[in-house]
Amino acid sequence: MPFTPFHMGPGILIKALLQASFSLMVFGWSQIVMDLQPLWVLIQGHGHLHGFSHTFVGGSLLATFSGLTGKYLSEVGLRIIGISKASNPIKISWLVAYTSAFIGCFSHVVLDAIMHSDVQPFYPFTLSNDFLHTMSIGDLHKICLYSGLAGGAIFYIVHWRSHKTE
């Protein structure tokens, strides 16, 4: 699912369930980082579209990069959009940054492995893709969409209840 918002659906649900223990911004950044390699292939017109970046080994390396850079980018981004204030800044812990990045990269590998035949998630150990066609592409898109909608509803309810009790 290169360059689609569908990857964010599961992230929104995870954010709703884990709240401050998960960074949706770092998760989203990891989705972008994961698809830089396919973007490069599309621009160049040659290469393996879902190459090393779409393996668990490659995803681990990209998650490490995404956690390191995403922590700082997200803190700045939260300040720019007005959620974090200079007087009371939101700080993302290293544990939250890396947890969010690894969940982001690994979920990206799995979701793309379900629908793309060129993904080899367990490379270099095997070239097989046991995730391929474990569900239809339509069902995969529905799960991603519905998880995002459910996550948004849960997040709103939790947020509303926490402010109602104050």
The token pair at 4 is: 């689609």
Give the structural domain span for 135. 5-164
Closest C-alpha among 68, 92, 64 to residue 79: 92
Across 6-10, 40-44, 142-146, least confident range = 40-44
- Per the prediction, the chain carries an average pLDDT of 93
pLDDT value of residue 165: 66
Helices (H), 8-136: 8-18, 24-34, 36-44, 56-80, 94-115
Q: Is residue 46 over pLDDT 90?
A: no
Which comes out higher in pLDDT, residue 159 or 154? Answer: 154
Q: Rounded to 5 degrees, what are φ and ψ at 12?
A: -65, -40
The count of domains in the chain is 1
User: What predicted TM-score, i.e. pTM, was given to this entire model?
Assistant: 0.91
The token pair at 125 is: 């150990």
